[in-house]
Amino acid sequence: MEHNLPELRPGTLYLVATPIGNLEDITLRALRTLKQCDIVAAEDTRRTGQLLKHFGISKPQLSYFRFNEARRSEEIIERLGRGERIALVSDAGSPGISDPGERVVKQAIAAGFRVESVPGPSALVAALTASGLPAMEFHFIGFLPHKPGQRRKSLERLGTFTGTLVLYESPYRVEKLLLELKEVFPERQVVLARELTKKFEEFMRGSPAELLEQVKKRSLKGEFVVLIAGAAEGARA
């Protein structure tokens, strides 16, 4: 274990994970990186502003989100070239996981800059490890496409995969997803991981049909990770 870490290095891009709900989940290293960096590149500067304020950090920000990624990546590369130490954060969790980040990381590496991960929360890991489904082998899908035909095809393509399948889904489409899972994977064990690290965190487990019943009875709000037992698990445990 290293305790006396060096100061941040000039010309480095730091990918800083932030809490997915519970602010206690910020790491000491994330706080130090946010304090010591020259600028924070944030998916939503207002939201990150609130996080920084909560931890008593005042730092200039640069917006970096899906629709300005290309332009902003260039600016970040220029700044790295001037020796700036840049912290990249998304709205929640790990940047680059179903969140912006990948493009600037690729460009920074191609341009010969150092990229460091400041690991921390991610809904993927939080959900998988507490789901009770095998974590030895898993396949992270992130969000399925929105178009019905494409969604169905994506699910069918995953049918032979032996590891646990992990999806992100919006609360508005969870019921729809369960209907699709009922068609494509009626026998599989499914876990809904809701509101992870927050006050109303819960794990719901069952077949797609059983979960559909539960979801219909309550109007479920919040954020969800949906996990599906892999083909090897086959019938429900």
| DSSP at 96 | T
Of residues 11 and 54, the one with the C-beta less far from ligand SAM:
54
Of residues 23 and 232, the one with the C-beta less far from ligand SAM:
23
Residue type, 85: R
Contacting residues for 113 by C-beta, under 8 A, at least 6 apart? 11, 12, 13, 77, 80, 81
Runs of H (alpha helix) within 134-229: 148-157, 174-184, 208-217
Rg of the chain over Cα atoms, rounded to whole angstroms, equals: 20
Smallest gap from residue 11 Cβ to ligand SAM (A): 25
| DSSP at 18 | B
Of residues 127 and 212, the one with the C-beta less far from ligand SAM:
127
Smallest gap from residue 221 Cβ to ligand SAM (A): 11
Residue nearest to ligand SAM (CB): 93
| Ramachandran sector of residue 91 (left: φ over 0; alpha: ψ -120 to 50; beta: rest) | alpha
Smallest gap from residue 129 Cβ to ligand SAM (A): 13
Smallest gap from residue 10 Cβ to ligand SAM (A): 27
Catalog residues that contact ligand SAM under the rule CB under 6 A.
20-21, 90, 92-94, 97-99, 122-124, 168-170, 193, 195-198, 223-225
Of residues 122 and 164, the one with the C-beta less far from ligand SAM:
122
| DSSP at 187 | T
Of residues 16 and 229, the one with the C-beta less far from ligand SAM:
16
Smallest gap from residue 158 Cβ to ligand SAM (A): 17
| DSSP at 66 | G
